[in-house]
């Protein structure tokens, strides 16, 4: 009868129709992917800290 409003948000990762169980993603895999990408951007590693403390060795 009445068509359901096609307002389902597509998965932001792969653009497939999202699933309620994993909204707004289509699957747990995409949810993980997005989360990882998000964390990756947030915790951007600014290279390795130049630690000048190598092995000084026991000078003797
Ligand atoms: Zn997806």
pLDDT recorded at residue 1: 65
Q: Which residue range forms the structural domain that includes residue 30?
A: 8-43
Q: Does residue 38 fall inside a structural domain?
A: yes
Query: Are 17 and 26 spatial neighbours (Cβ–Cβ below 8 Å)?
Result: yes
pLDDT recorded at residue 3: 65
56 Cα: distance to centroid of ligand 1 (angstroms): 52
Look up residue 23 and give its two tokens.
């909204």
Q: Does residue 15 fall inside a structural domain?
A: yes
- This prediction has a pTM of 0.55
Q: What 3 state SS string does the chain have?
A: CCCCCCCCCECCCCCCECCHHHCCCCCHHHHHHHHHHHHHHHCCCCCCCCCCCCCCCCCC
Kindly report, residue by residue over 2-40, the tens digit of the pLDDT: 665 556 789 999 999 999 999 999 999 999 999 999 898
26 Cα: distance to centroid of ligand 1 (angstroms): 4
Domain count of the fold of the chain:
1
């Amino acid at each position: 009868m009445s068509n359901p409003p096609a307002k389902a948000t597509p998965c932001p990762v792969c653009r497939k129709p999202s699933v309620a169980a994993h909204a707004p993603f289509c699957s747990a895999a995409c949810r993980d992917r997005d989360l990882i990408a998000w964390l990756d951007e947030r915790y951007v590693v600014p290279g390795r800290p130049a630690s000048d403390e190598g092995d000084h060795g026991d000078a003797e």
